């Protein structure tokens, strides 16, 4: 039986002011695009708007915790952090997990 290292998953959730959703998504897309393009340890960064709401969920996949910690120091995350506060009504506690692939 072989073991494979699980990827590090980050799930962040934001309650966005409905009138400010487009501005929030612009910031989120910038962070997501630069994360995937500029960070070797970032495998996936999805920005999800929950149907019928202005709740936005980030689903991020990194090689490991160290890759996520490197993400925390990036200029694109700093831009997001600087801008999103006035656009949201709240945010949930960031959740962490492990992505494990189920093979048949």
CA-CA distance, 76 to 67, in Å (whole number)?
Answer: 15
What pLDDT, on a 0 to 100 scale, did the predictor assign at position 101?
72
Please tell me the number of Cα atoms within 13 Å of 89 on its side-chain side.
10
What pLDDT, on a 0 to 100 scale, did the predictor assign at position 6?
86
What pLDDT, on a 0 to 100 scale, did the predictor assign at position 102?
63
Nearest to 47 by CA among 73, 21, 70: 21
| Residues of the chain falling short of pLDDT 70 | 1-4, 102-104
What pLDDT, on a 0 to 100 scale, did the predictor assign at position 73?
97
Task: Give the angle subtended at the CA of 21 by the CAs of 75 and 88, to the nearest 5°.
Answer: 70
- Return the beta strands (E) in 1-104 as ranges: 7-16, 42-49, 55-62, 88-91, 95-99
- In order of start, what are the domains of the chain with their CATH numbers? 7-93 (3.30.70.100)
């Amino acid at each position: 039986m072989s073991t494979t290292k699980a990827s590090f998953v980050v799930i962040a959730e934001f309650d966005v002011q409905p009138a400010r959703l487009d501005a929030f998504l612009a910031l989120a897309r910038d962070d997501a695009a630069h994360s995937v393009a500029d960070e070797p340890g970032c495998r996936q960064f999805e920005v999800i708007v929950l149907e019928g709401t202005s709740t936005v969920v980030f689903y991020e996949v990194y090689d490991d915790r160290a890759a996520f910690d490197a993400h925390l120091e990036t200029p694109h995350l700093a831009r997001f952090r600087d801008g999103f506060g006035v656009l949201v009504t709240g945010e949930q506690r960031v959740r962490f997990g492990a992505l494990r692939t189920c093979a048949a």
